[in-house]
Amino acid sequence: MGLGRLLRGDGVVMKVVGLFAGIGGFEVGLSRAGHTTLLTCESCDAAKSVLGARLSGIPNHADIRDLKGLPADTEVVCPSRTFLRYGEPGSCSRPSL
C-alpha cells in the first residue's frame, strides 16, 4: 500500500502506533484520514498532556523501555521525534539511560 493511499484514507482503516509521539501530530492526521491509533509512547510530561487532550482514551506508555511489544494488529508505526535539542527552551529533558 502506498503512502498516498494511506493518507487519503481510501476506505482502508490502518491500525497505528506512535513511538516518541510528541504531541501526536502524525496520529491525529492519520485519525482524520480515518485510521485508528492503538497506542502512543511518549515520556515528556508537557507532550503527554497534549496527547491526552488530542487522543483521549488512547493508552500512552511513558517509557519505551517498558513497552514489551506492539499490539498484534499494528499496521503502521510512526517513529516521531522532537525537532528541538534536549535542554533548549520548550524541549523535554533528556531521560537518563
Name the pTM for this structure.
0.74
Rounded Cα distance between 39 and 71, Å, is 8
> How do the pLDDT tens digits run along the chain, 97 residues long?
555 555 555 677 899 999 989 899 989 999 988 899 999 999 889 889 999 999 999 999 998 888 899 999 999 998 876 554 555 555 565 554 4
The CA distance from 66 to 2, in Å, is 32
Q: Angle CA(20)–CA(26)–CA(31) in degrees, nearest 5?
A: 125
Into how many domains does the chain fold?
1
Q: Which domain holds residue 46?
A: 19-69
Please check whether residue 28 lies inside any domain of the structure. Answer: yes
Tell me, yes or no, whether 56 lies in a domain. Answer: yes
CA distance 33 to 39: 17
Task: Examine residue 83 and state whether it is found in any structural domain, yes or no.
Answer: no
Please say whether the beta carbons of 26 and 18 come within 8 A: yes
Determine, yes or no, domain membership for 75.
no
Enter the C-alpha cell of residue 33.
484520514
